[in-house]
Amino acid sequence: MTAAIPAVVLGGTGYVAGELLRLLAGHPQFALAGVMSDSQPGESVGGAFGHLASVYPDERFKSQQQIEAIVTREHSTAIFCAAPHGAAAALIDTLLTQAEAAGRQPRVVDISADFRYRSAAAYQAVYRHAHAAPARLGAFSCALPEHLPALTTPHVAHPGCFATATLLAAVPLLASGLTTSDLFVAAVTGSTGAGRKPVEGTHHPARHSDLYAYANALGHRHAPEIRACALAATGIEPNLAFVPHSGPFARGIHATVQAALRAPRDGAQLLGMLREFYAGAPFVRVTDSPPRIKQVAGSNYAHLSALSDGRTVAVLCAIDNLNKGAAGGAVQWMNRLYGLPETAGLTAPAPGWT
């Protein structure tokens, strides 16, 4: 076993950061060196995340200056960024600039949206503000680990949770050539996907026992990201009709991707295609029966299945939004960046009764 790799978490008080801290607590190689919070420096990590108090009894949130000291001191630091989009790019740029000036070689996995686009113009078109570090965009790849066998950049931007579920289902269809490029997606996410700050859409009395589409259905900001990642993975940019929904549960995403078949195929043939496509993917399971969120919630696994009436295929995908769709996917990428087994620290199954 080689020496522990220091890891820092940025944007440390949100749900994704909490999930990162939980995963790092059990990781065989990454050791938490610091978690940054602009709003709560010096406060107890266990106070913000009661479920983590037993594994981080003495850990306190650090300031940006303290995190800077870590990345300029250590030869290589694993930087997980869970800061909000719009704030992440400037923070990452500052840390990388200081580390590089000190001759250090950190690696970054950004879970925000700031490095998911190939150009500053593409980012600005979606988020309506200028990119804070456009010179850094070329140093980041944006893809799912299952769709990018060879990584050529030092850093990674992990796609969002909706994008993760949709791409896992859609990319095999596009790559196989079995369907047209017109994709129709309906995806339902849990309340943790809206972040920790309470808003009307995540307030329990408003969301409990209810199901509704987002106000910006067919115009959601993740749709361009899905199209771009699908194009990078397959060479085909789909015509995407994406309708996201808010579900009455805390964790998980269930996505249904439908497309017209170019020639008749039955469900068994489509399941075979999915199994062949993901034969080397340790976290993707293709099941005969439709997947359920409780089968994956709290884990880094994705369950897929497929149905067909001979003319139309529906690929169903269930993931955990905080884990496979964010923190777990980020750890999966960081494992690869450091040459570790892709599964390190991520093989625990779902609890099953969340």
Tens of pLDDT, residue by residue over 173-188, are: 999 999 999 999 999 9
Extract the tokens encoding 258.
Answer: 């439908």
What average pLDDT does the segment 30-56 reach?
95
Residues 167 and 40 in one domain: no
Residue 145's nearest CA partner among 348, 351, 346, 352 is 346
Q: Considering 142, 173, 198, which residue would you say is the last residue of a domain?
A: 142
pLDDT for 353 equals: 87
Q: Which residue has the tokens 């043939």?
A: 269
**Structural domain contains residue 243:** yes
End position of a domain, from candidates 111, 142, 173: 142
Q: Is residue 206 part of a domain?
A: yes
142 in active site: no
Give pLDDT tens digits for 280-302: 999 999 999 999 999 999 999 99
Residue 155 lies in a domain: no
Average pLDDT taken over every residue of the chain: 95
Predicted confidence (pLDDT) at residue 60 exceeds the cutoff of 80: yes
How much is the pLDDT for 342?
97
For 203, phi and psi rounded to 5 degrees?
-65, 125
67 and 132 part of one domain? yes
Decide if pLDDT at 1 tops 70: no
- Assess whether 136 and 179 both reside in one domain: no
Sheet holding 284-286, edge to edge: 212-213, 239-246, 182-189, 253-260, 312-319, 302-308, 284-286
Kindly state whether residues 169 and 300 are assigned to the same domain: yes
Radius of gyration of the chain (CA): 20
**CATH number of the domain within which 245 lies:** 3.30.360.10
What confidence score (pLDDT) does residue 215 get?
72
If asked whether residues 94 and 200 sit together in one domain, one would say no
Nearest to 159 by CA among 173, 174, 146: 146
Q: Which backbone phi and psi does 278 adopt, to 5 degrees?
A: -105, 25
241 in the same domain as 93:
no
pLDDT, one tens digit per residue, over 182-223 is 999 999 999 887 666 767 766 777 788 999 998 788 888 889
Q: Are residues 220 and 247 in the same domain?
A: yes
Position 331 pLDDT exceeds 90: yes
* Number of domains comprising the chain: 2
Can you say how many angstroms the Cα of residue 164 is from the centroid of all Cα atoms in its chain? 6
CA-CA-CA-CA dihedral for 51, 57, 59, 60, to nearest 10:
80
From 81, 142, 161, 317, active-site residue: 161
Residues 166 and 311 in one domain: yes
What is the CATH classification number for the domain harbouring 97? 3.40.50.720
Which domain covers residue 94, as residue numbers?
5-142
CA distance 190 to 243: 15
3-class secondary-structure state, position 141: strand
Q: Do 178 and 308 lie in a common domain?
A: yes
Specify whether 209 is located in the same domain as 274. yes
State whether 283 and 184 are in the same domain: yes
DSSP string computed for 206-273: HHTT--EE-TTTTS-THHHHHHHHHHHHHS---EEEEEEEE-SSSS-EEEEEEEEBSS---HHHHHHH
For residue 331, is it within any domain?
no
Q: How far apart are the first and last CA of the chain?
A: 34
**Residue 126 and residue 249 share a domain:** no
Question: Does the residue 61 lie in any domain?
Answer: yes
Do the domain assignments include residue 309?
yes
